[in-house]
Structures are given as C-alpha cells and as structure tokens.
Amino acid sequence: MEKATFAAGCFWGVEAEFRKIRGVTSTAVGYEGGHTTNPSYQDVCTDKTGHAEVVLVEYDPEQVTYEELLNVFWENHDPTQVNRQGPDVGTQYRSAIFFHTEEQKRVAEASKSDRSSSGRYRRPIATEILPAQPFWRAEEYHQQYLEKRGLASCHI
C-alpha cells in the first residue's frame, strides 16, 4: 500500500470522491501543513493554524495509479481558487498536493504543468505541491461524514 494526501476544499466531499475509486483501500480526513500540533477542527477554522483540510488516501498501486488519483483530485475542485472552494473561504480550503516520495513530487509537478498548459483554465492554477507534513486526524464525526449521513455528495 502507498499513501497520497490531497487538499481540495472541504474534506467531506473530497473524501467521498476518493472512496469511490477501485484500489483505494482507506481514507482519513484531517489537517496538514500548519504550524501547531494536534489541531482541532475549531482551531483550524480560526484560519490561524496554517493547516489545510486534507484527505489521506491509502491505495494499492497495482489497482490504481498515483496519476489516476491526481485526475480525481483535479476533477473535483477548482484548482485556480486561492484559499477557497465554493462558499468555503480560508486557508484551510486551499488546493494542495502533499507528496510522500520524490516520484510523487515529480508526477504531481508534471500533472500540474500539463493542466496549466491545457487551456482548460482561465486563471493560473494555485495548487501548492509540498512535502508531506505531520497529518493530524480530524475528529471522528468528520470521518466518512457524508456516508454516515446517507449523502452522496456535498456542494463541492
């Protein structure tokens, strides 16, 4: 199994999309990229901890490639938005890819470059590509939030 971590706005809808992918063995929502330890949802919502809402994806690379996961990431949010997705505003909703290996970094940068030059977006892609940092698992009520409530998706 390998790990991938993505920030693409509110983690509820992002997690739901990754859970649909064959080869994804588990997901967890949490916080990454900030400067405090063990932040709570309330802490992150102050927009002062520097954390993004992220989804940690564990996957079987024999069933799904990192490139395929990147496609899910790109297709399920607006990567040109800075510190927001839809009605959600704040640095916790930024677009970011947290790479776990140098190969993931290379593939993510190539994917971003391809998307940037595709002509698909009217604005520049704002997605950050950063090394994986400590992942702080979100409170249990956030895990598989939409599934637990019988919802297929949210506004993202």
Burial string for 66-104 (b: 16+ CB within 10 Å, else e) reads bebbbebbbebbbbbbeebbeebeebbbbbbbbbeeeeb
What does the alpha-carbon distance between residue 89 and residue 110 come to, in Å, rounded to a whole number?
28
Tokens of 127: 């997605």
Q: Are 41 and 142 within 8 A, CB to CB?
A: yes
The class level of CATH for 2-148 reads alpha beta
Q: What is the pLDDT of residues 58-68, one digit of tens each?
A: 999 999 999 99
Tokens of 107: 């593939």
The verdict on whether 154 is a catalytic residue reads: no
pLDDT value, residue 152: 59
Q: What is the pLDDT of residues 70-123, one digit of tens each?
A: 999 999 999 999 999 988 999 999 999 999 999 999 999 999 999 999 999 999
pLDDT value, residue 154: 66
pLDDT value, residue 156: 45
| Residue among 7, 8, 10, 72 flagged as catalytic | 10
From 139, 156, 137, 130, select the one nearest 17 (Cα to Cα): 156
